[in-house]
Amino acid sequence: MNSSKVQNILNMRPEERYHYFIRKIGDFEEVWGLYDNGWATSKDNLGNIVLPFWPEQGFAELCVAGTWKSYIPKSISLSDFMDKWLHGMDKDGTLVGVFPIPDGKGIVLSASKIRSDIENELDQY
């Protein structure tokens, strides 16, 4: 990835990164998580489990540090993400952490909200 592109995106507000995430996963038809004998998770302020996802491998790689230092980026097809992941996360009450960055959090939303926004994006294709 171009370093100026990366910096411009990292400087976006979380809401802007969310919209970038939705557009890019529609374009690339994949999302990225961090994996090491299980998927990386965090918790929100209320103690809810949050699974973080990124639109591109390079952005996921930037977050391989701290408690996630042994994790590696792993792709998930958009169809699996929509049909399996978001459905299961919604059922379990697990939240989606969208596009966190090394020195800041991303947006945390319900799986059903993410699914709806992705469907709306895909309707434009």
Residue 24's SS3 state is: helix
Q: DSSP state, 67?
A: G
Q: Which residue has the higher pLDDT, 70 or 5?
A: 70
Closest C-alpha to 27, from 124, 115, 97, 106: 124
4, 16 in Cβ contact below 8 A?
no
**pLDDT per residue as tens digits for the range 60-111:** 999 999 999 999 999 999 999 999 999 999 999 999 999 999 987 889 999 9
For residue 44, pLDDT over 70 is answered with: yes
Largest CA distance in the chain: 39
Domains (range + CATH), the chain: 3-122 (3.40.1350.90)
H/E segment holding residue 72 = strand 72-77
Total count of residues recorded for the chain:
125
**Considering only 3-17, 26-40, 43-57, 84-98, which range has the smallest mean pLDDT?**
3-17
pTM of the model: 0.93
